[in-house]
Amino acid sequence: MSDEKNEKLTDHDYDGIQELDNSLPQWWLGLLYLTLLFGAGYYCYYELGSGPSIQDEFASEVAAMESKKTAAPPSLFPEMPKLVAYQTSAEKLAVGKTVFQNRCVSCHGDKGQGLIGPNLTDDYWIHGDGKIGAIAKVVHDGVLDKGMPPWVTLLTDEELYSVTAYVKSLRGTNPAGAKASQGNLVKE
């Protein structure tokens, strides 16, 4: 056995430690050859063949984004009867309250009293007339110049309807510490 080991010894000597000339494991060599084969195929396809260039991929992604910009977002308003029905459903209002607590509190306060965003509990409205359709439009489309995002892409239709109904239910609650009135006085 020691003669077999002596045959595998190399002439390298590091601080009295001799190196054995072992062959690489077969699985490692197989992986190396597969990687080299993949690399050669990749190079041939993208550099020599018909594979798309970086410029082509960029152009197609820009075109896809432009087509999304021009496409109108789905409208919330054909479901107006459903939206109105949510105002009387305790279950839907509870869902709306949960969405409001998770998404809207940072700007409108925990009771809708207004912080950065406007007070939602009084009869003054900056955008729209305070009716359910106007509230739905603001929630759906957002008010980008005021910092409110369009929630249509971030919430499901169920959540949009529920939070709209919940915001409508806040009107007239006038919690303590509410932000001063902003916008136009609207009486229903």
- DSSP 3-state of 20: strand
Query: Which residues are bridge partners to 124 per DSSP?
Result: 185
Q: Class of the 77-185 domain?
A: mainly alpha
The backbone region for 122, taken as left when phi is positive above 0, alpha when psi lies in -120 to 50, beta otherwise, is beta
Q: Which two tokens stand for residue 154?
A: 């971030």
pLDDT digit string (tens) for 90-113? Answer: 999 999 999 999 999 999 999 999
pLDDT tens-digit series, residues 63-80: 988 887 776 565 555 577
Range of 33-42, 133-142, 177-186 with top mean pLDDT: 33-42
Please answer whether residues 129 and 141 qualify as being in contact, where contact means their C-beta atoms are separated by less than 8 angstroms.
Answer: no
pLDDT score of 9 more than 50: yes
pLDDT at 13: 80
Percent of the chain, pLDDT > 90?
32
- For the entire predicted model, the pTM comes to 0.60
What is the rounded average pLDDT of the residues 164-185? Answer: 88
- Name the token pair of 162: 């529920």
pLDDT of residue 1: 47
Residue 5 has pLDDT above 60, yes or no: no
For residue 28, give the 3-state DSSP assignment: helix
pLDDT at 40: 96
Q: Where are the domains of the chain?
A: 2-70, 77-185
Q: Which residues pair with 20 in a beta bridge?
A: 9
CA 21 – CA 162 distance, rounded (Å): 72
